[in-house]
Amino acid sequence: MIVCLRVDERLIHGQVAMTWTKELKLNGLVVASDEAASNEIQKMTLKMAVPEGIKCIIKSVEDVTTILDDPRSESMRLMVLVPTVKDAVTLCKRYKNIEMVNIGNAGEKKILSKEVMLTADELEALKELTELYPDTFFQGTPAMEKKMASALLKGC
């Protein structure tokens, strides 16, 4: 089961590995990134950040469906990590059973929060994402304040 879909250009790092995995009681991290899937050094580095006892799979956005469509994934608590809002939209269109969508750290231009700066294209993708998942929120770690994406988009 996809407990959380998180947009974070850093993919797996301390906040994900040490706080989100515990808070959400995850057994697996699934990275859906075309760039990471094609870079052996990046795959090795990302897997080094994963806590003991947590499974980690890194696939392209297209190939990740083989993992998420596998019936065995339904019995696991998974966080899917994508580097862009556009990738999140792609997955949200296919998977309607995602429990939560979280924007952690993304983008380059328009500042929506301390951690999130989006290009014009990513802003449009975020609008589409909030239509698919109205409860999409910004939150760096579970201890930080949760900000609804729809509220932050009102100023754009």
Catalytic residues, by residue number, are: 13
- Listing DSSP states for the chain in one string gives -EEEEEEETT-SSHIIIIIIHHHTT-SEEEEE-HHHHT-HHHHHHHHHTSPTT-EEEEE-TTTTHHHHTSGGGGGS-EEEEESSHHHHHHHHHH-S--SEEEEEEB-SSEESSSSBEE-HHHHHHHHHHHHH-TT-EE-SSTTSPPEEHHHHHTT-
